[in-house]
Amino acid sequence: MRTPFVAGNWKMNLLADTAKALAVKVKEKLDGVSGVEVAVCPPFVFLKDVVEAVRGSRIQVGGQNVYTKDSGAFTGEVSAPMLKSVGCTLVIIGHSERRHILGETDAFINEKMKAALKAGLKPILCVGELLAERDAGKTEEVVRRQVVEGLKGLTAADMATVTIAYEPVWAIGTGRTATPQQAQEVHAIIRGLIRQQFGAAVADGLRIQYGGSVKADNAKALMSQPDVDGALVGGASLEVRSFADIIKNSI
């Protein structure tokens, strides 16, 4: 049985005081909640404050991005060892906004995966298709490419700490959500790909999150699907009650 995993991606939101206050409230709201793994991923500049705010709880803290190198002349970038040093345990890699706004390629994302794993961070690899790609019947082709290329060179042992998040780009921040059946269909494809690449044991243990306008009122239906193991939550993670309700509905 896979433990559900819900992560909040705060994206480029909040300020120092509001980020810390949100972290404190999330910690208080989830006190006593079990049977689910929870993480929050604030902007880089708030990481240390958020780590301190949730200390003593089961809430993990992650970065929203990472660079491929450990150190060097890469102005503005943040390395995996840096994230680790401030208390992060995980990192989001290949989010659609990084792919489609900032031009990150599958090969670059694969380098980031390897850098995160080398530093002992647990990566969340994001994959998903654009609306035009879905309408053209290319969902499986796109997701297959992103999964295979993103995980290239990884071992079965590496996969023990990897999460994959399926985020249909057409459903992110749009208010549109994949139906539970649509989500299940793609999650099953992803699990099948992992079975082909790494074997049944790895595939059965892999957690695949859904991301794309997840809210409290659709979380239960989405996460009742056999291959949906949690959520990567965007806007709804910025409000304590909605985030907590999503988490509780995932159990």
Ordered per-residue pLDDT tens for the chain, 251 residues: 899 999 999 999 999 999 999 999 999 999 999 999 999 999 999 999 999 999 999 999 999 999 999 999 999 999 999 999 999 999 999 999 999 999 999 999 999 999 999 999 999 999 999 999 999 999 999 999 999 999 999 999 999 999 999 999 988 878 777 899 999 999 999 999 999 999 999 999 999 999 988 999 999 999 999 999 999 999 999 999 999 999 999 99
Known active-site residue 187: no
Give the predicted TM-score (pTM) of the model: 0.97
Known active-site residue 167: yes
Please count the structural domains in the chain. 1
Q: Could you list the residue range(s) of the whole structural domain that residue 57 is in?
A: 5-249
Set 104, 129, 167, 187: catalytic member: 167
CATH number, domain containing residue 227: 3.20.20.70
3-state secondary structure labels for all residues of the chain: CCCCEEEEECCCCCCHHHHHHHHHHHHHHCCCCCCCEEEEECCHHHHHHHHHHCCCCCCEEEECCCCCCCCCCCCCCCCHHHHHHCCCCEEEECCHHHHHCCCCCHHHHHHHHHHHHHHCCEEEEEECCCHHHHHCCCHHHHHHHHHHHHCCCCCHHHHCCCEEEECCHHHCCCCCCCCHHHHHHHHHHHHHHHHHHHCHHHHHHCEEEECCCCCHHHHHHHHCCCCCCEEEECHHHHCHHHHHHHHHHCC
Set 37, 95, 97, 187: catalytic member: 95
Query: What's the pLDDT score for residue 1?
Result: 81
